Amino acid sequence: MTTVFPGPPRTEQELMERASELAGKTLQYLASRQNIELPVSLNRAKGHIGTLLEKYLGSTAGSLPEPDFREIGVELKTLPLNKQGRPKESTYVCVVPLLPAEQTTWEQSLVKRKLSRVLWLPIEADAEIPLPRRRIGSPILWSPGATQEKILRADWQELMDMVITGELENISARLGHYLQIRPKAQNARSLRQGISNTGDINATLPRGFYLRTRFTRTILQNH
DNA sequence: CATTGATCATAA
DNA sequence: TTATGATCAATG
């Protein structure tokens, strides 16, 4: 593997310069610059493109529960686009804290810290385009507006209230305007400790926070 | 055909 | 083992 830049970006501007160079380039180009081979399909490499971009841009966070660019507090998210140029998938944000000891305020939450500043990188993702030929779009450096944050916060609060009051099993992906909670696991047999409907701690499916496609669509439209 | 629930790879 | 990176695929 070849490292393209000497270290992590020190400023947002430096990050944007690095990302802007990729606009219009293909995934083949992105991989070639780093002497990494593209997988034949994303089927068995679902996060490959995101990882490739992190490496290219100089992220050092690894799999720490932190924004990708810790030095400047920016989170990197790819945004897969369908044939119409709209987001085709929801966006994973972070793990849902299920235990009482893990609870925080909205201000301290990982959801807020990650979504405070996001570098969105649109990627062509229509199934008809071969992976190597899919193009990277122009980067969007985004922060939630006041109204957006208000709704994100309300979603988070509503969902976390359910988590801590033993209503976890009543949470479905239908809840939440912008944010939703869905399974985030190796498979349906994966288990995590959580608060049961009797208030005890028992085993449950690990969950994650996701941004709905209809929300990321508006982010894209506003640019 | 959009959405929900399920799943795959990998690093520390 | 549990977080990251996400997309797949069944379902309504």
Calculate the alpha carbon distances from A90 to A24, A153, A215 in Å. 23, 18, 9
Q: Is A88 among the domain residues? A: yes
Could you report the per-residue pLDDT of A156-185, keeping only the tens digit for each?
999 999 999 999 999 999 999 999 999 999
Q: Is the pTM of this model over 0.95?
A: yes
Q: pLDDT band at residue A1, thresholds of 50, 70 and 90?
A: confident
Q: Say if A38 falls within a structural domain.
A: no
**pLDDT band of A60, cuts 50, 70, 90:** confident
Domain around A95: 73-222
Residues A115-146 pLDDT 10s: 999 999 999 999 999 999 999 999 999 999 99
Beta pairing class for A91-95 and A207-211: antiparallel
Query: Under a CB-based contact definition with an 8 Å cutoff, are residues A124 and A87 in contact?
Result: no
Pairing relationship of beta strands A75-81 and A118-124 according to DSSP bridges: parallel
In a domain, A105, yes or no: yes
A137: in domain: yes
- C7: residue with closest CA to C1': A46
Q: Which pairs from A197-206 meet CB under 8 Å and 24+ separation?
A: A197/A166, A197/A167, A197/A168, A197/A169, A198/A166, A199/A166, A201/A99, A204/A98, A204/A168, A204/A169, A206/A95, A206/A96, A206/A98
The residue type at A3:
T
- Give the pair of three-digit tokens for residue A159: 């969902």
Q: Report the C-alpha gap between A181 and A93 in whole angstroms.
A: 10
What's the total number of domains in chain A? 1
Q: What is the pLDDT of residue A197?
A: 93
Identify the CATH number of the domain in which residue A197 sits. Answer: 3.40.600.10
Inside any domain, residue A180: yes
With respect to residue A5, please indicate whether it lies within any of the assigned structural domains: no
Nucleotides of B strand lying within 7 Å of any protein CB atom: 3-12
Q: Is residue A36 part of a domain?
A: no
Task: Check whether A61 has a pLDDT greater than 90.
Answer: no
The nucleotide minimizing the C1' distance to residue A44's CA is B8
Tell which strand C nucleotides have any atom below 7 Å from a protein Cβ: 2-9
* Residue A94 confidence class, pLDDT cut points 50, 70, 90: very high
- Asked if residue A3 belongs to a domain, the reply is no
Distance in angstroms: CA A40, C1' C9: 19
Cβ neighbourhood burial of A33 (10 Å; 0-12, 13-18, 19+) = middle
